[in-house]
Amino acid sequence: MGATQSDALVFFGATGDLAYKKIFPALQAMAGRGTLTVPVIGVAKAGWTLDQLRARAQDSVEKYGGLDRAAFDKLCGLLHYVDGDYNDSATFEVLRRKLGDTKHPAHYLAIPPPLFGPVVEQLARSGCAAGARVIVEKPFGEDLASARALNRILLGSFVEADIFRIDHYLGKRPVHNMLFSRFSNPILEAFWNRTFVESVQMTMAEDFGIQGRGGFYDATGAIRDVIQNHLFQIVSNLAM
């Protein structure tokens, strides 16, 4: 698809933790900067209505970043909602109708990893994958074999250039600042090497538990969720 701009954003997991803490504040910020002008379709299985999703979005931005009334109202005007089971083809038929005449939607999978494959296959069967992009959150598989199996599913419905495998944690400002501190600070740059650095200690501190994420952690666990993704990638950035 090349540089063609997406003309809709579909995010699966619209009622989940990642949407609440990260996606809605980011969408409001984009609306405020004038870079979000396309329909935004949230998909989840929660038995909710669009008004309930808008209320959730407002609670999200008030808690994580602050409410910008003009930007939030613009976001609400773009927001749509599809409620349904990810394993039910009827959910994706509704999504196809919501997409209307859009040609290049972007599908963001902010959902538990076991659902990546089934959702991608449903997107393909419903025609929602045609001309589209897909953004896959971590963790990408449970091991090498499952990662390869997921890759085969993705490549069966999307071309490589339209597949984005991401870890939202690497978008955090402190992570970006770490790279600037390492390479742009002449004092640190001079001695940040194995000759002078004996050890590196990393602490990931959070002030919340697994509330609302019990099902995810029961299947995935903190080691796979945090250590093999967020922290190993930060170590890679530090060591490179």
Exactly one of 80, 104, 107, 230 is catalytic; name it: 230
3-class DSSP string for 43-71: EECCCCCHHHHHHHHHHHHHHCCCCCHHH
The contacts found for 181-184 with CB under 8 angstroms, 24 or more apart, are 182/237, 182/238
- The three-point CA angle 148-154-158 to 5° equals 145
Residues in the chain: 240
Q: Comparing C-alpha atoms, which of 20, 185, 50, 26 is closest to residue 9?
A: 26
Q: What kind and span of H or E run contains 125?
A: helix 116-126
Q: How many Cβ atoms are within 10 Å of 24's Cβ, its own excluded?
A: 29
Residue 230 annotated among the catalytic residues of the structure: yes
Q: Which residue has the tokens 């967020």?
A: 230
> Any idea which residues carry the catalytic annotation?
230
